[in-house]
Amino acid sequence: MKPGIGDRFQEETKYGRGRLGGGYLDWRARPEPVKRYPDAPRFKLDPPQREGGLPLWEAVGRRRSVREYRNIPMTKAELSQLIWAGQGVTTKISGYELRAAPSAGALYPVETYLFIQNVDGLEKGIYHYSVKEHELELIRQADFRPALAEAALDQEFLAEAAIVFAWTAVFGRSKWKYRERAYRYVYLDAGHIAQNVALAAVALGLGSCQVAALYDDEVNALLGVDGEEESVLYLTSVGRP
């Protein structure tokens, strides 16, 4: 088989002794570590629960991809717990706000958006997660269920979920330090986050399904991101099985 762009990417981003691809870090040029929508309506999330719940090993054993959901709303408390499990701040050390999922260099290039479709007390629409405040910022209020399913290769179960996470990468946050190797790391970061959410869903008695089959630019258009400096990586649907 003729080598393609994926083969070249894998080869050209390898680390070897004496060639790590790094260099001097220009701290003045470091991108902003978080994204904000200062003019958006904001919704405070419930404080996350840090004790009790399903044992970890049981949650791991019960995790399955769930593509059928009942038309029963999710609570804001459940939503808060899922978001915190994926990207929430868990501790602060030496000025760093460390999160629930690991990130290369603690640079956190992944942004969390949510298609809210059936949550008590929240209107349907696209929201952005404000990490530092543990709040949601409403970007666009509308019913995006048909458009989202269509943009994800017509996978109708996405329209039936109570929420759909959409994770994007702000590539410059990682490229500032890791250059082209950064593209490997942003996908790893997204995988860590999605797995945390999948396990949290099991612990809450919910079902989830991770989706990478999507029309990138159509989802980017829904989110209002440019597809170059910031682009969608991954989706996760969550609902009551």
Q: What is the pLDDT of residues 21-32, one digit of tens each?
A: 666 788 888 999
- pLDDT band at residue 124 under the 50/70/90 scheme: very high
pTM value? Answer: 0.95
Stretch 220-239: mean pLDDT: 98
Task: Summarize pLDDT for 171-200 with one digit per residue, the tens.
Answer: 999 999 999 999 999 999 999 999 999 999
In a 3-state reduction of DSSP, which class is residue 147? helix
Tally of domains within the chain: 1
Task: Summarize pLDDT for 36-54 with one digit per residue, the tens.
Answer: 999 999 999 999 999 988 9
Q: Give me the amino acid identity at 93.
A: I
User: Taking the CA atoms of the chain, what radius of gyration do you get in angstroms?
Assistant: 18
> Which letter, b or e, does each residue of 95-113 get, where b requires 16 or more Cβ atoms within 10 Å of its Cβ?
eebebbbebbeebbbbbbb
203 within domain boundaries? yes
2 within domain boundaries? no
**Cβ atoms 99, 87 nearer than 8 A:** yes
Domain of residue 184, residue span: 40-239
In a 3-state reduction of DSSP, which class is residue 76? helix
**Cβ atoms 239, 70 nearer than 8 A:** yes
57 within domain boundaries? yes
Detail the DSSP E strand segments found in the chain: 42-44, 89-93, 96-99, 110-116, 125-130, 135-141, 163-170, 207-211, 230-239
What is d(CA 87, CA 83) in angstroms, rounded to the nearest whole number? 6
**Cβ atoms 113, 131 nearer than 8 A:** no
138 within domain boundaries? yes
Give the other-Cβ count within 10 Å of 86's Cβ: 25
**Cβ atoms 137, 130 nearer than 8 A:** yes
Task: Summarize pLDDT for 209-221 with one digit per residue, the tens.
Answer: 999 999 999 999 9
160 token code pair: 């039936």
44 within domain boundaries? yes
5 within domain boundaries? no
* CATH number, domain containing residue 218: 3.40.109.10
What is d(CA 195, CA 210) in angstroms, rounded to the nearest whole number? 9
What is d(CA 26, CA 23) in angstroms, rounded to the nearest whole number? 9
144 within domain boundaries? yes
61 within domain boundaries? yes
Q: Give the helix, strand, coil percentages of the chain, each rounded to 5.
A: 35, 25, 40
Task: Summarize pLDDT for 149-164 with one digit per residue, the tens.
Answer: 999 999 999 999 999 9
